[in-house]
Structures are given as structure tokens and as C-alpha cells.
Structure 1
């Protein structure tokens, strides 16, 4: 019998989530609001150390509302890392603004903060209005926030922090999602915790969350009939899905620990392979959402794509590091400040199976396939 596929980061759900779903259904609140939503918001807020939170149906919705409620408007530019998922840049388009992409730090994949400062200065000299800066905590490692926040404070720029991949991560003892004027998490199927689809907007500003909550509910105002005072959106999270999120959140530490052990396993596995590095290997605050190796083919004699093909033949899923936004057809004509680091990460990076649900047999199988490939190319 063929072995079951090994996926990159599958959902890690079980009895606790089943109990939570039944609890929500039996409560009678099969609605896009309810006590599970309220409790989920409070529990994430307490976990991250940010006083106000709004549960939504996607991380993308949270990014969109974060930008709008930070004052981004049409004709603005918003600074976005070129290494990110497309949702970050799409949220800028939803707001009517224009993304300007900034290259990455090759050691982490996060935005190059020094380069970001140069872009801010150049745009200001050109008389262009910057609506916001959107740092992204890539693969679970936080951006270098001290210099980034200092830069944004001096330039009086709001920060919408895309921590979609970074729930549970920290930077100098402070949680991801707590640094910006608005912070965002994703609870998509492959994230640290899942609600099968969902997101959260957080802020230290109660008014910002109140305005976002209003717009997430179709901008409906109190009345016996349907009354709306501005353009709103159907962005609410289901009470049943929030119950799943609560069960997942209660297991976050154990799931993070398993991902971290898997990253440490990869580090040992490749330690003797000249030309292979684990991205952000020494970041103690990372939640280790996904482990990315960076392959120098001049030293290894093989490319990241060669290992990917070998693993695919064994029904093991991998993925290149994020394709930069400036290389996407949608943004082919977009403005970007580049150093070549993102292009090199895409060419040389490979994301390996990193899910917390991987069992020992799967890890042994994965290890054996990698050993076999490396030995074959030694």
C-alpha cells in the first residue's frame, strides 16, 4: 500500500475541536456573531497583550479594515515587502491605494528596514503621500521592529502589521501583532491555528476597532429596519468557527513546540551539508510556522528544485519560498525598490513540511528521503 502524502502544513485538529463545534452548535448560536466570537476575541487579545480585537472571516479582511481605519485612501501609496503572500498587496488595492514594494533582508526574508527608510525619504521628497507601512512577519519570524517603528514614528506613518504567519512569535519579549497601529493574524487552514478560514484585527486604539467592527457588519446602524451609513463589508466570523479557534488557541503552545522541534531536526539534518542554510535559524522568538532552507547550488552541486522534485516523487509536498510580488503578473508594472535579495530567496529557497500534526513515522520517512537525496549527490 502506498504511503499517505506528507503535506506542507496541514490543519492540526482533533477531539478538542470536535467538542468545541458541538458546544457552539448546541448553544443555538449558528450565526456570524455570538458568545464564542466574543470569547475568542478576548482570549487572543489577552494572549498577545493588545487590549482590543475583532474576529473576522479572513486575514485579508483584517488587513483591508486595518488600512481603511488607519486612514489609507485612494491615491496614497502603501509600502509593502515584496516577499509576502498576495493578500498583503491585494488589501492595498482594495483600499484604492497603490503598493510600492521593498526588498528583503536575505537573512530572514523580512523587509529590509534600512532600504525601507530610503524609500520613505525618496517618496517624501517627491511629494507623494504615504498612507501606511505594512511590515510582514515572514515564516513566523518578526521584523526588526525597533528601527522600523522609530522610522515610522519620525515620519508619522501608521503601521499595519501583517502577522498572519506569526501568532505566538515574539520580538524582544513582545508578541507579534502588538507593534503596529493595527495588527493582523490569519487563521487559514495552514496557519499556526485554524478556524478553517478566519482572521483577527488587533489594536491598542479602541476607536479603531469600533470603526472596523462597524464596517465589518455592513456598516449597519441601530434601527428596526436595515440602515447603513457608509460602505460596509460582510467580514464577520462565524460563532461556530470561533469555537474551533478557541480550542486551537488552547493548544497553541504544544503545536508551536512541535514545529520548533521539527525545525531543530532540519537544522541537524543539514548541518553537515555545505551550502544549505535554514532561514532565520537562530531566531529564538520564531513560532517556526514554516521552515525554509536556502540552497547555494555552487556549493551543494544541486538546486532547491532538485530536492523538491525528489520529494514530490515520494508524495512529499514542498514549496518554493514566496514568489516576490514584483514578479507576479498582477504587479508586473508596480513600483519596487530592489536589491536582488528577494529574487535570490525565491530561486534558492525551499519550504519543507512543517506541520505540527506530523507524526514520528512521517518524520522518519521524510528524513530518509532527504538523507537518500543528499547521499546520492555527495
Structure 2
């Protein structure tokens, strides 16, 4: 059969409920459609309640939130910022916006996040070279909490502020505390593929009222307190609209349900893909104290288990991806490490073997919270065909 004979299964499509329309209709009825209004205030309050922080600023994207967060941490031209290599490019691009240099650090194999050993190596070496890092971007990849005790201890030891990139980790927890509140600032994404969406949007969260006020000021073109338009410094058009914030309000009501379903999908894959040769559902089990939202279910070919059956000859993540496409199923390789991207060819890198191996062997499977068990069986059957 041709791929057109099947309905498309997307990797992580938006999943809307009924509540979003209530907030959007109210905004239109009240003519609150400009980048201001009660939905924004309410959405920020919803984020604060979900994350357990006192201040949130709703923005146009997670990338905008990282950009403003780095500004709040004092990053500027000539500075260096520590950053995982195994992440989406949006984590590192704002470093370049500011004329700073990313210093990439390898992953550890348990959570795929920043390796504390390589991180210490990077910090010590940069300081020895006279370039103490200005900030550290901490990512929770695919919703899995990073090794927070070790990383937080290193940041404190060397007095390096943390920007916590929880773009993929809304609803994830460490020691029953929601992710996003462990850094000086935290950021979330509400892009269309995230566990909750505003179609496009993001947020910056913090415990520091002054930082939140500064972020809100910069996000609204840095307009000085004057009756006319007066500007003393560069600002940005980063504020989320009241309409999109209304979508976010409805989505936030669904967060526990969406996390529950993503975790169910992960468990289904883990059980039903186990008999397939040479492939394993990755990032399982969760490390002690961690609870992932399981934003995306990921797999690895040729697992390290010596008792596992070998993968079919010639099988690679790309051959699997292409076969899934013949069944109109979207899948994606794991993130290509940023130190391998042409854009960052000159950036310093510490380690690299772990994230390079993960990229070479990994594939993300459809994980949308609206998937049915029938959809999941279709993915399994397509993988079984490719691996048989």
C-alpha cells in the first residue's frame, strides 16, 4: 500500500480540548486581541501555579525566553555560556544573538543531559584559560530531568548562574518539585509540538520579582515611563498576544491529563516493542527521584544488552524512518549534536562520544497525546516490518 492510503501519524501534534475556545471567544467579545489583556495575566498565573514559582512572563516563543533570560543573567559580547551539545539549536542560538560563544558539553548516558564530569572539566578549563563562563544553560531533554544535585552543586561551587531550559519538560518533576524553578530563571516553550501549546509561545519564570519586571520591560520594546514613546535601550517585541494566551489558559487545565497520557504511550511502547530485535525504548527506567512527562518516546538501535537480539542487517535510524514514511508515519532522528553543526564548528566542545553515539542510533517515535492504541499498533507493526 502507498503512504497516501494511511492517515498521517505525526510525531507530536497539537492536542486541543474544549476549554481553549471559551477563553478565545471571551477575548474576542471583549475586544482584547492586542498583546495585553486578562488572558495573559491569567496564563502567567496558571504557569506559576503549575511550576511553583511566583513570577512568569508570557512570551512569543521559548527562544525569546532564552534570549531574555541570558540578558537578565548579564551575558553579552565576548562572554562564554556553557550549553549541552545534545539539544535543539534554539537552546544555543540566543547565545550567538548576544555576541557570546557557546561552550558545548557532552551528555551522560543515563538521562542524556549534561554530564557533570564533562561539565566540571569544561568549567575548570575555561577558567584556566581566563574565560570563566558567564552562565550555564541546563536542558531537560525529552522531558527527562537532568542530574540536578550534581549540576546545581557545580554551579554553586563556581558561582555560575543557571538558565533552566525546560522547554520540553513542562509537567516533569525532580523530588516532586516541578522542573523550571531550579535556575535563576527558567524557560518553557508552547510551540505546536510541545505537551501543551499556544500554537507558538513561551514563558520565562523566576523567583526574582526584579528579573520578571525587567523581562516584561524588555519584551515590550523597552518603553520608558513617559507619556510619549521614549526608549533608552534596545527592546524586543516578545510579548504573547491575549488571544494565544487564551489558548494557553485552556491548555493548562489539561496538563495532568496530557502528562498521564504521554506516560501511558511510553509504557505501551516499552512493553510492545520489547520483543522486536535490536531495538529498545530508551530513557527507561527513570532515575531515582525523577518523573518525566515523557514528551517523546525515543528508541535506540543495537542496545548495549549483550543478550538482546541483533538488529536486522543494514537497519539504521534512517532506514526505519524511511520505512515508517511508507506507512505515512512521522518519526525523527534524535537531536544532531550542536558541535557537529556547521553553524558551531568553531565552538569549544568537551567530550562528544556519548551524544554522537546517541544521534547515530536513536529515533523519536510518534508520541502525541491523542494517539489511540490502534495508532500505536500501527507504529509497532511498521517497525516490525522494517526489522524483520
The CA deviation at 1:274 is 5.0
- The whole-number CA distance in structure 1 between the counterparts of 2:80 and 2:153 is 20
Post-superposition CA distance 1:201-229 (Å, at most 9, x none): 00111111111111111110222210112
Counterpart CA distance in 1 for 2:271 and 2:373 is 16
2:296 to 290, 293, 299: 290
Match of 1:336 in 2: 349
CA distance in 1, matches of 2:345, 2:124: 24
Deviates more, 1:54-63 or 1:358-367: 358-367
Equivalent position of 2:123 in the other structure: 120
The residue aligned with 1:246 is 249
- 8 Å CA contact 2:59–2:202 kept in 1: the answer is yes
| Offset, 1:272 | 2.7
Q: Is the 8 A contact 1:310 1:373 kept in 2?
A: yes
Q: Which residue is 1:37 aligned to?
A: 40
Deviation at 1:46, TM superposition (A): 1.2
For 1:249 and 1:234, locate their aligned partners in 2 and report how far apart those are by CA, in whole Å: 24
Residue 279 of structure 1 and its aligned partner are, at CA, apart by 2.2
SS of the aligned residue for 1:202 comes to strand
Do residues 203 (structure 1) and 206 (structure 2) align?
Answer: yes
Check if 1:172 corresponds to 2:178. no
What is the CA–CA distance in structure 1 between the aligned matches of 2:104 and 2:282, rounded to whole Å?
21
Structure 2: state its 5+ residue gaps.
Answer: 304-308
Decide which moves more: 125-134 or 296-305.
296-305
Instruction: Say if 2:17 and 2:250, in contact at 8 Å, map to a contact too.
Output: no
Deviations 1:156-176 (A, max 9, x none): 100001000000000121111
Q: Residues 273, 363 of structure 1: CA spacing in aligned structure 2 closer, same or farther, 3 A cutoff? A: closer
The answer to whether structure 1 residue 315 and structure 2 residue 328 are counterparts is yes
Q: What's the secondary structure of 2:370's corresponding residue? A: coil
Counterpart check, 1:299 vs 2:310? yes
Q: Is the 8 A contact 2:17 2:251 kept in 1?
A: no
Matches within 5 A, 1:259-274: 259-274=262-277
SS at match of 2:134: strand
How far is the alpha carbon of 1:361 from its aligned partner? 3.1
Q: Which residue of 184, 190, 193 corresponds with 1:190?
A: 193
Superposition pairs of residues 1-378 of structure 1, within 5 angstroms = 2-283=5-286, 285-296=291-302, 299-301=310-312, 302-374=315-387, 377=388
The unaligned stretches of length 5 or more in structure 1 are none
Contact residue 187 and residue 198 of structure 1 kept, 8 A? yes
C-alpha contact (below 8 Å) 2:23/2:39 kept by paired residues: no
